[in-house]
Structures are given as C-alpha cells and as structure tokens.
Structure 1
Amino acid sequence: MSAAVAAAGLSSFALLYAPQPVLPQLAAAYRLDPGSASLAIGVATASLAVAVLPLAWLAGVVGRRRVILWSVVVSAVIGLLLPLAPSFSAFLVMRGVQGVAIAGFAGVAAAYLADQVGTARLAGAVGAMIAGNSVGGMLGRLGAGFAAGPMGWHGSLVAVAGVSLVCALFTAVTLPRGETGEETRGAEEARGETRGGEEARGETRGGEEARGETRGGEEARGETRGGEEARGRRAVAVAPRGDGARLGFGLVAPFAVGALAMGAFVALYNAAGFRLAAPPISLSPAAASLVFLSYAMGTASSAAAGRLASRLGRTPALVAALAVTVVGSALTAHPSLPVIALGFAVLTAGFFAAHAIANAWVTADAPPPARGRAAGVYTLCYYLGSGAGGTLGAVVYGRAGWTWLIVMTSAWLLLAAATVLMTRRS
C-alpha cells in the first residue's frame, strides 16, 4: 500500500508543479510578466482546491480507491497533451482541468490511509505519504528544469508526464482495495440485520416465558416498549456520529496552517526561478532547477514530523516547524548563492514538517464519518493558499523585489503560528 500511495503522490505532484521551473521560459515565449506566468501554477492549484470537496463527497459514494485511480491516470494523460495547447489561454484551461483531476488524489488520500491503517498509525502513514508527495514535487521540477535546456519547455513537460503515467499505472495495479460507499453501507446493513436477529431471538424467548407466566403478555408488551426505548436511545447516541458530525473549532489551526504556510511556500518557489535566472546570478534553467533539491529536506522532515509531534506535542512541534520556515526564508534574502540554497533547504524542511503535522492533526481529530470531509476542507485551504499566495507572491516579486516578498511570506507564517497558539488556549 505504501508504495502504491507514494507512486500516486509522486505522479500527482510532479504533474502539478512541473511548469514551475520553466516559468521564465513560459514568460518569454508568451511575453508575460512573472505574475501572469505564475498562473500556470495558480490556475491548477485553485481548480484543485475548488474540486476537492465535491470529489471527497464522490469518493464516499463510489469508493476512495476508484477516485484515486481515475485521478492519477487522467491527470497524467492531460500532462501529455499540455504541450499541444495552441495558446497560453488554452494552456491555462488544460491546467485547470488537470488540477481538478489531481484533486481526486489530494483530497482523498489521507482519508483512504485513515481507513486502511487506523488512527494509531495514521501520523506515520500520512508522513510517509507527504514524503512521497515531496519526492514527486522535487523530481517533477528537476526533470522539467533539466529537460528544458535540450528539449525546450514543451519537451520537458512531456518527459514529466511520461514518467507520471508509469507511476499511475503502477498505482492502478498495486493499490489495495478499500471499502467503497456501497460496501460500507452493505456492512452497516448486515450489522443491523445481525442485531435484528439477536433481538428477534430475544423476543422468541420472551414469548416462551410469557406463555408460562400469568402476566407474561403484559411483561412482553413492557419489554417491547423497553426495546423501542432502547432502540431510540441507540439512535440518539449514534446520530451525532453521522455524516452531519461537526468538525470542531480545534481544526481551525491546521486549516489556517495549510492555507498560509502553503501560500508562503509556493510564493517563494514561484519567484525563485526568476530571481536565479536574473543578473547577477544568471543561472541556466537546469542550474536554477537545482534549488528544488531542497525537497529532499522536506522528504526527511515530513517523515520525521510524526515522531517530533509525539515527543513534543502537536502545538509546540507545529509552531517550531513554522519558525524554522521563517528562518529559512530570511536566509534566502542574502546575495550569496550558497546561502540562498541553504535558506531554501531550511524553509523546505520546516514547511513540510508543518504540513505533515497539520494534515495528521485534521484526520486524527475529525469524527471518523467526517474524515473525508475534514481532509477535503484541509486540502481546499491548502490549495487555495497555493493558488492565491503563489500568484500574489510572483506579483510582489515582479513589482517590489525579493526582500518585500520575504516580508510578506514571513508575515503569513507568523500569523499561522499565532493561530495555532490561540486555538490551543481556546
């Protein structure tokens, strides 16, 4: 299961962010400013965010496994077709459709894991999933960046899509079958029939006792009324755990972290290619894409985030991860290329640790029947932050420069940390 989910994450996030290292080439080809070019990322992530909740609902009806499989296959096929777009407007339309397809994995995977492994092992499983996601994001960006030199941006996107399709097919073959919505309802009905059979047997015994006693009929009627009252009490007890279960105020903190931290993270990486390609650094697309090697730090930190949260507690661990992200982003303001690279490594490690802790927080604290909805809301916040924050960050960089971009993104990260602390006190 771990390999299948990791392959799905690798495919999805390689496709989602493959255009990021070639944004300067897209801007040159279509005569765009950095903010307009960044829509190649922003449109896909925004459409993903909009589609997350409907697809999370659909997964509850047709089954989470089925939605994940359609997600990875359709998104890979669209990736192969992207270079054929006749204009940038058509390119953005196709990216929007691709974002909707990727939402099937992004919004359902955490709930699928919760169904498969249970809450006790959930933090580690989600950490492993996010580690696979970060590997996909890193390899997709690196592959596109290195292929852009000899193949152009068209060929680079085709190369990433081809690898993603192989990963999608691997997932289709190896992903374990989970309960579909129909199977779940069937199991519940079977359990209801079992309880009904037990009650029927109890009534049969009650009838035999009634025939042996003078007031047996009255007692049987009393038992019947008692059974109805007991069933009523069971219905009242079960109702709060149904599909209408509330997510609770405690989930505001991870939702805020998902939106604000992801917005800051994507804003920095969207603008990174423009900064590294511009004087005085003037790197080639392949050399500039090496900054995405920092995702290896995210892979390690997200896998270790569950252990950190277990040792320190969720709130201290999450605030510490956000603080590390702020420190890393501040380091990127230095003019030296090695210090810039160090800054990206630090901020990436901090961000992915925060993301893993917040994601596990949502799925662990949500009522079991509402886990899919909670995961969908988190993913909605996460990718709305990515779309809006990433585009706004590129605009700020294009008009005011890197320093003001750091000021803005650091403010978002500190606001996320403050929300976590206020939620804890409440």
Structure 2
Amino acid sequence: MRKIRRRLAFAVAVVLLVLTGGCGPRAQEHITLTVATFGEFGYEDLIPGYEFTHPGLTIRQVRTEQGGPYHQDLLKKLQNGQDLADVQAVEEGHLADVLAQSAKFADLAKIGPSDVKPGRWLEWKYEAGRSKDGKLVGYGTDIGPLAMCYRKDFLEAAQLPTDPGSVKTMFATWDSYFKAGEKYVKRSHGKPWFDSAAQIFNAKVNQLPVGYLNRDDHSTLETNTALKDAWDQVSTAVKQGQSAGLTAFEDDGNNGLRLGGFATKVCPAWMLGIIEQQAGIANAGKWAITDAFPDGGGNWGGSYLTVPAASPHQKEAATLAAWLTAPEQQLHAFRVSGNFPSQVEAFTSPDLLSEMNSYFGGALSGQVFVAQARKVGKPQYKGPGDGKIQEAVIAPALKSVEQGADPAAAWQQVLAGVHRLVP
C-alpha cells in the first residue's frame, strides 16, 4: 500500500539535508545497525547520508515486501528473543501485539535523544505508541488520515453533488452518508454506493471511544452498544443494496476499481495510490476527494519504529530512529513513497501543502490530509487480538450478510467468534 514516487530527483537534496542538519553524535567505534522494514518506507536515499555523517557506523536495511509475513516473523522472533533488528518497524494494525510485550522493547522516552519531545508528533500518534505502563515503545512514522473518495461521473449521473465543497454536507455524518447512498442506489437503478461492508464498519468502529477490547483486554461486544449500533447501520445499508460486496485489495476489489463497481470509498492518504494503480489511466480525472469524513476524522494505517531490548546498541538505534522520523525525513519519505507525515512541523511545509494530485482532478491532496489528520481525536485502545477480531470474525460475518445472511444471526456468530478469541 505504499506507492513509490519521484525518488531520484530528491537524492541530492537529501544529501544536502544530512550535511546541514542531520549531524548527531558520532560513533566512537565501528558498529552495524540493522533496520527492518516492510513495504516502502522511503529510507533508501536517507541511510547513506546518515552513514556519511556518522563515521564508523554502518546501517543495513532488511526490507520485506509484504507486511503480513513481516509481522508474523517479528512476533516469532520476539517469542524466541533472537535475530531481532536494532530498529524494527511495526505497522499500526499490529502495534497492539507489540505493546503487549513492552518489556521486550527499550523505552524511547528514556534512551532517545533529549530534544525529541512528544510535541514533535500529532498528540494521538504519539500516544498510540505508548504501552499501558507508559513506556514509549515506538517513534511514529507515517499516518493514514481518512477522507472520502468518490466517482464524480457516477454522482453526477445520479443527480447528486459532485464538487468537493458540496459533497461535504453529504459526507458530514454516517446518517447523511447512508441516506445519500440510499438515493444513489435508487437513482442509479441498483448500482452500489460503496465497495465493502467490512471497510465501512472498520472505519466506524475505529472512531469509537472504545472498540472491541477494553484496557483489561476483555471483549466489549456484549456491553458496547455503539458496536451493535454500527453493525445495524452498516447491515441495513447492505440490505438496501449499497454494498458491492467486494474484498478490498483482492482481485474482485481491484476489478471493482477498474470497472467502476461502486461510487464511494473510504480513503486514507495512502489509498490514493492504490486507486490510481488499480483503476488505471482510463479512469483518470473521474475520481475526486474531499476533506470530509462522516462524523469527523479517523486514521487507518501508519507505522512506528521500535528498538528491541535485545539490541546491543540501543542508544545508537534510538538516535537513528529519531532521525528517520524527524520532520525533514518524513517529508522526504512522502516525496518518494507517498507516506503521509505524522510530524506537526511537516504540516506547514510548502511542499506538502502544494502537493497536487492530477489523477484526482488536480486536488490539493496535501491540504486535504493535513486537515483530516488534525481532526483525529484520542487514539482508541487496541489490545492484542484486535486485528484478529476484524480479520477472522467481523469481515467474514459481514461478507455473509452481503451474500444474503440474516444480520441478527450473523451478529450472534460474531459474539461467538470473539468469545473464542478473547475472554
């Protein structure tokens, strides 16, 4: 989900940046630091410059293409306590499993550079990297603030608003979003409003003060009425024909983008690259984006850099992780890979604010996502098992509703499935 863009044009600028502003404590002896990442973090051009200003230091980046196998391997290594990198990247969806093992990680608030303060990050991003016992386990990298993407041509054909300013009212709340979807289905003679019930449900759940688990890591599904309300609202929309019943990032979901199988899509910052890649050049200019999301803001995605306690060079690793997540380096990562910064200082960068996406009709996407990132509130607590609930219980149950199952019966299956996973 990370898109490679405009890498070579910035290589010289990165070297100059390191020479003028990247100098830190120089290594006193020759050491090697290993940085383990997945997908595209945009670090390849940065690492040589850091090595240049730190004589005696060698950095080896070990990159895994897919995040799933990477995190499976990471959890296995944590269990064995062996073969961990000095700096380990962790994706937001797997962070709960890492925070639950905070004793196996260094406290970056204690060993990191003294000038790295919480105010460097958006508050919610910083807080999400802390464990229940208050340890700062991860320095935040990118984020995935949520906006809404939509097909202008489809909305126009259904006599619905199409310009970004006008659709804000339509996307202001989940009630207004689903009411617009009901109109769209009727006026388009049965065409779907969104791609996947699971995508919509997960976005709604992530906005709640309390999700699937409480801070004691017990299930809340039988007492958290907001979860059941979200289920009822989404399943009602499914029964109205609003869902295309597709699976995001699978062949059917990608074909839905290419063939115009739905009109709107939940859009974290990194989703723009997915849509452009999968919808293809034939649909350029048909998609639009607005700085609105039902019931406020939300976040989907983003990562952290951690330092395992097993590292023999914790302090040096923490210094490197702090530098890689500083505003200048986050802006570089955005330029070459599209990873949206989590640093407050980066939000005032002219480069970010002037970012224009021609595929989405010339939308100032940097401004859109800066506005959306500032709307995100306190991070929802996610305990170990949260991701499994979404992937192994919720998604299949909603898929069954899309295929005709009774929503009430499917909800009972959800309760039974979660009970098997967590107390």
TM score, norm. by length of structure 2: 0.27
Query: Of Structure 1 and Structure 2, which has the larger fraction of its residues in strand?
Result: 2
TM score, norm. by length of structure 1: 0.26
Q: Which has the larger radius of gyration?
A: 1
Query: Of Structure 1 and Structure 2, which has the larger fraction of its residues in helix?
Result: 1
